[in-house]
């Protein structure tokens, strides 16, 4: 763990990290201290701030981005960071979030620009105005929002990452079949998860901490359809166009068992549902196998029907004896 270090002198470390957990406790003498788990994009570490005073240092909460100074020691056989100074990070610090939390593999501004470019190319003026207006209205949150609390693309800017993947898949499929209405399919791909922006609590770190009241009571499918209806009326988009797009949103989970209000009832809705599931499952496979050695199995993954997943060897690394596969 490097804390996105700005200083490393002798045994002293100084830099930025995220508070994964923080609790105010008392020593045996009744003095307050902070008991923390600090983390960056690669690792996490236990930390203690023994000289904590609320009136001097202020309050700290999980997912706060902080600047720390202190030393690492070993306590009961495990490394622990002893904090000497702590403060909340500010905009002037220009913290590089990709070094503190897991992030999408592309810059969010570039992903958002690609979504906008696709919408600008629509021949359907109603869909073009609707999608561009929503991207403009929600751009601030889109630049850091995750796609999930714990499942697929649950990283900073993960929602844009997943959305762009689904759009690119849709663009590839649309080139194969004349029956597809590209504008409708692409609009559905761009907007299908838009109300995940209202479904989760997400601090500036870009990692969801839980579900909002609306997220629990409505979910992003129903809330998304209502949002599309409001914006469609505001922009005077043709009612049938709005209705088709709403259906794509409420049906894109495919089956009522997985939250869909109805099953897809026209071609573009069916394609969107399949592509959404494909990208989500590919991401779950990838994240579930990250810490698994080639030739071995993961634990059971409940989001994939409790399957164990096998990590095959990389191309060119296959063993002549598949029963005794060795890591490449």
Looking up residue 141, the CATH number of its domain turns out to be 1.10.3210
At residue 313, the 3 state secondary structure works out as coil
**Within a 10 A sphere around the Cβ of 166, how many other Cβ atoms?**
25
Give a yes or no: residue 252 inside a domain. yes
Query: Residue 256, exposed/middle/buried by CB under 10 A (0-12, 13-18, 19+)?
Result: exposed
**From CA 206, how far away is CA 101, in angstroms rounded?**
8
**From CA 93, how far away is CA 66, in angstroms rounded?**
10
Return the structure tokens found at 94: 């220009």
The answer to whether residues 33 and 42 touch, using CB atoms and an 8 Å cutoff, is no
- What pLDDT score does 41 carry? 76
Give a yes or no: residue 2 inside a domain. no
Q: What does each of the 328 residues of the chain score in pLDDT, given as a tens digit? A: 565 555 555 578 888 988 888 999 999 888 999 999 998 877 778 999 998 999 989 899 888 889 999 988 887 777 889 999 999 988 888 888 877 888 899 999 999 999 999 999 999 999 999 999 999 999 999 999 999 887 789 889 999 999 999 999 999 999 999 999 999 999 999 999 999 999 999 988 888 888 999 999 999 999 999 999 999 999 999 999 999 999 999 999 888 877 778 999 999 999 999 999 999 999 888 878 877 888 888 888 877 878 898 888 877 665 544 544 444 4
* Residue bearing tokens 């720390």: 68
- What pLDDT score does 207 carry? 83
The pTM of this model reads 0.81
User: Which residue, of 32, 67, 93, is where some domain finishes?
Assistant: 93
Task: Report the number of distinct structural domains present in the chain.
Answer: 3
Q: Residues with Cβ < 8 Å from 98, sequence gap 6 or more?
A: 41, 156
DSSP alpha helices (H): ranges in the chain? Answer: 54-57, 108-120, 125-137, 139-142, 158-174, 182-191, 213-217, 219-235, 239-251, 267-288
Residues 282 and 297 in one domain: no
- What pLDDT score does 195 carry? 95
- What pLDDT score does 179 carry? 95
User: Which residue, of 62, 93, 124, is where some domain finishes?
Assistant: 93
Work out the end-to-end distance of the chain between its first and last CA atoms, rounded to an integer number of angstroms.
Answer: 27
Give a yes or no: residue 120 inside a domain. yes
**From CA 143, how far away is CA 140, in angstroms rounded?**
6
**From CA 152, how far away is CA 244, in angstroms rounded?**
26
Looking up residue 20, the CATH number of its domain turns out to be 2.40.50.140
- What pLDDT score does 327 carry? 45
The rounded Cα 224 to chain-centroid distance in angstroms is 18
Residues 233 and 314 in one domain: no
Residues 106 and 248 in one domain: yes
Residues 111 and 239 in one domain: yes
At residue 194, the 3 state secondary structure works out as helix
Residues 274 and 132 in one domain: yes
Residues 184 and 309 in one domain: no
Domain enclosing residue 307, as ranges: 293-324
Give a yes or no: residue 1 inside a domain. no
DSSP state, 297?
Answer: E
Residues 270 and 299 in one domain: no
Give a yes or no: residue 218 inside a domain. yes
By C-alpha distance, which of 201, 191, 187 is closest to 148?
Answer: 201
Give a yes or no: residue 213 inside a domain. yes
Residues 57 and 108 in one domain: no
**From CA 265, how far away is CA 291, in angstroms rounded?**
40
Return the structure tokens found at 120: 């600008």
Residues 246 and 310 in one domain: no
At residue 296, the 3 state secondary structure works out as coil
């Amino acid at each position: 763990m490097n804390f996105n270090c700005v200083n490393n002198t002798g045994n002293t470390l100084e830099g930025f990290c995220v508070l994964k957990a923080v609790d105010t406790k008392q020593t045996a003498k009744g003095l307050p201290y902070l008991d923390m788990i600090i983390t960056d994009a690669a690792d996490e570490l236990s930390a203690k701030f023994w000289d904590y005073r609320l009136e001097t240092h202020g309050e700290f909460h999980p997912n706060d981005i902080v600047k720390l100074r202190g030393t690492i020691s070993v306590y009961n056989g495990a490394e622990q960071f002893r904090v000497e100074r702590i403060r909340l990070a500010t905009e002037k610090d220009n913290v590089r979030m990709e070094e503190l939390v897991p992030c999408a593999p592309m810059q969010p501004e570039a992903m958002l620009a690609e979504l906008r470019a696709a919408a600008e190319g629509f021949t359907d003026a109603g869909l073009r105005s609707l999608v561009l207006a929503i991207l403009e209205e929600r751009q601030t949150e889109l630049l850091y929002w995750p796609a999930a609390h714990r499942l697929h693309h649950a990283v900073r800017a993960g929602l844009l990452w997943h959305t762009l993947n689904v759009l690119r898949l849709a663009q590839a499929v649309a080139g194969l079949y004349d029956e597809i209405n590209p504008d409708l399919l692409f609009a559905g791909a761009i907007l299908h998860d838009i109300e995940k922006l209202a479904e989760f609590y997400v601090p500036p770190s870009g990692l969801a901490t839980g579900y909002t009241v609306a997220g629990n009571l409505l979910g992003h499918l129903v809330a998304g359809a209502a949002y599309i209806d409001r914006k469609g009326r505001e922009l005077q988009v043709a009612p049938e166009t709005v209705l088709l797009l709403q259906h794509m949103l409420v049906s894109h989970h495919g089956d009522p068992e997985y939250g869909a209000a109805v099953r897809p009832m026209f071609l573009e809705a069916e394609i969107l549902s399949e592509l959404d599931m494909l990208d989500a499952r590919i991401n779950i496979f990838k994240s579930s196998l990250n810490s698994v050695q080639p030739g071995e199995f993961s634990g059971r993954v409940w989001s994939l029907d409790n399957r164990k997943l096998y990590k095959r060897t990389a191309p060119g690394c296959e063993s002549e004896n598949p029963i005794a596969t060795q890591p490449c």
